[in-house]
Amino acid sequence: MILQKIQSILKSELNPTIDDPGKYRLASVLVVIYGNEPIIVMTEKPKHMKFHAGEISFPGGKLDSVDSDLLDTALRETNEEIGLAISREQVIGQLEPVVTLNSGFLILPFVSVVEKIPELSPNREVEKIFHMPLDSLLNTMANDPDPSHNRIQEMFTFEYENKTVWGASARILKQLHDSLKS
């Protein structure tokens, strides 16, 4: 699948606010897709983190008082975590919000599709940066057989280099899967 096709499929209106998050704290992530054979950028959190230690996730984080909206949060956190500066104009759309089961976040995912990215540099919140072939990753989707996870949303897993992507990140990938594989 080529970048232009991905961009046309994932393009959507941006609404970077959530008026009533209910009991959840607000956060956002940036899904970055780049390259001729599309690559998706994900990170591995360090084991010492308070939330989501050791998990594979997208760059992003919680809404901060310096952020004007959740898109600002995603862009700021992506720049801080992996040294990637993406402008608001490079964000082509957003996906449906997802919730975390354990940490109580409502996460709004934004999507950026760019031709290339510079070399990335992780900060202390990132153990490792992954450049995953998008198509191959999406083809690894499996339903999580653990019924205890189904309290909030259906659970899925994806595999990359013996790492399992699960939870909110997998639900974001599931949205990409459903959009791009239909």
Q: At 135, is the secondary structure helix, strand, or coil? A: helix
Decide: helix, strand or coil at residue 154: coil
Domains of the chain: 3-15+23-132 (3.90.79.10)
- Both tokens of 7, joined, read 């961009």
Q: How many Å apart are CA 118 and CA 174, to the nearest integer?
A: 27
> pLDDT > 70: what percent of the chain?
91
**3-state SS string over 7-30?**
HHHHCCCCCCCCCCCCCCEEEEEE
Kindly report the number of other CB atoms within 10 A of residue 12's CB atom: 13
List all residues 6 or more positions away from 65 whose beta carbon is below 8 Å from its beta carbon.
none
- What CA–CA distance (Å, rounded) separates 52 from 54? 6
Residue of 42, 181, 61, 62 whose CA lies nearest to 122 = 42
Place 143 in a pLDDT band, splitting at 50, 70 and 90.
confident
The number of residues making up the chain comes to: 182
Q: Mean pLDDT score of the chain, rounded to an integer?
A: 90
- pLDDT attached to residue 95: 97
Supply the pLDDT for residue 51: 60
Least confident of 38-47, 72-81, 111-120: 38-47
Predicted local distance difference test score (pLDDT) of residue 175: 95
DSSP secondary-structure letter at 122? -
Grade residue 103 by pLDDT with cuts at 50, 70 and 90: confident
Over residues 132-149, the mean pLDDT reads 77
pLDDT score at 38: 96
> Helices in the chain by DSSP H: which ranges?
3-10, 70-82, 134-138, 167-180
pLDDT at 90: 97
User: Per-residue pLDDT averaged across 7-32, rounded?
Assistant: 94
pLDDT in tens, 43-95: 998 877 666 567 899 999 999 999 999 999 999 999 999 999 999 999 999 99
